[in-house]
Amino acid sequence: MGLNDEAPPPVIGKSPGLLGEGTPAFLTSKVDFLVNWARRNSLWPMPLGTACCGIEMMASYASDFDLARFGMERMSFSPRQADVLICAGRVTYKFAPVLRRIWDQMPQPKWCVSMGACASTGGVFDVYSMVQGIDTIVPVDVYVPGCPPRPESLIYALMMVQEKIKQESLDQHSALRAEDPAAVAKPRADSDEIASLSGPFGNSTKQNRVSGLVQTDAISRPDDRIP
């Protein structure tokens, strides 16, 4: 009923159209929509599993959760052919230049997902060897909370990346997608931002990020020392 009852569309030319005989053989759309549609439905991830989050990431690719449904069937183990960097697990300072080099090697357009508490904030590892959130090293689009996050969380994060891509427009391209050769292999944030991002927090240090952003010095707990 419905559609068939309406007046037939005007005949344009003789060729069979997209929607049947006599319909137009072309579509109109917006370039932004088409480009974003193509980009968001074939996001090739660069998996960077450094810890237990990597196991959940592998589970997300496997048959139960099957990220291929989102156009991500190909794990791109070369950063040169990757679109999304999924940093799953803790990142040490020793590993930080590797992470930054992988990010620098990925071509635009590229996005970054910080998966799990350790990648996002350093997690429980508020120690001398651990990067306190990879957003001090590379720009992050979506943070996934959890320790480790379940595959549903990662899928939701990737859908959020897709939503973010939907909002992009080609006239922002030079602003969003510009590459700065001077920024290669440099921290993403300046010193003050790194200090505020990686300030100590949590019960163990009697210090809370919400409670004033005052960074304490090294913990001094004389009681812990055997005299």
Residues that bind other proteins (CB under 8 A): 93-94, 96-98, 100-101, 126-129, 131-132, 136-137, 185-187, 190-192, 194-195, 197-200, 217-219, 225-227
Residue nearer to other proteins on the CB measure, 60 or 136? 136
Smallest distance, other proteins to C-beta of residue 82, A: 19
Q: What is the DSSP string of the chain?
A: -GGGGSPPPPP-SSS-BTTBTTS-S-----HHHHHHHHHHTSPPEEEEE-SHHHHHHHHHHSTTT-GGGGT------SGGG-SEEEEES--BTTTHHHHHHHHHHSPSS-EEEEEHHHHHH-TT--STTB-S-GGGTS--SEEE-SSSPPHHHHHHHHHHHHHHHHT--GGGHHHHS---GGGTTS-SS-HHHHHHHT---BGGGTB-TTTT-PPP-S---GGGS--
Residue nearer to other proteins on the CB measure, 85 or 157? 85
Smallest distance, other proteins to C-beta of residue 133, A: 10
Smallest distance, other proteins to C-beta of residue 119, A: 15
Residue nearer to other proteins on the CB measure, 84 or 194? 194
Residue nearer to other proteins on the CB measure, 19 or 219? 219
Smallest distance, other proteins to C-beta of residue 161, A: 25
Residue nearer to other proteins on the CB measure, 162 or 198? 198
Smallest distance, other proteins to C-beta of residue 198, A: 4
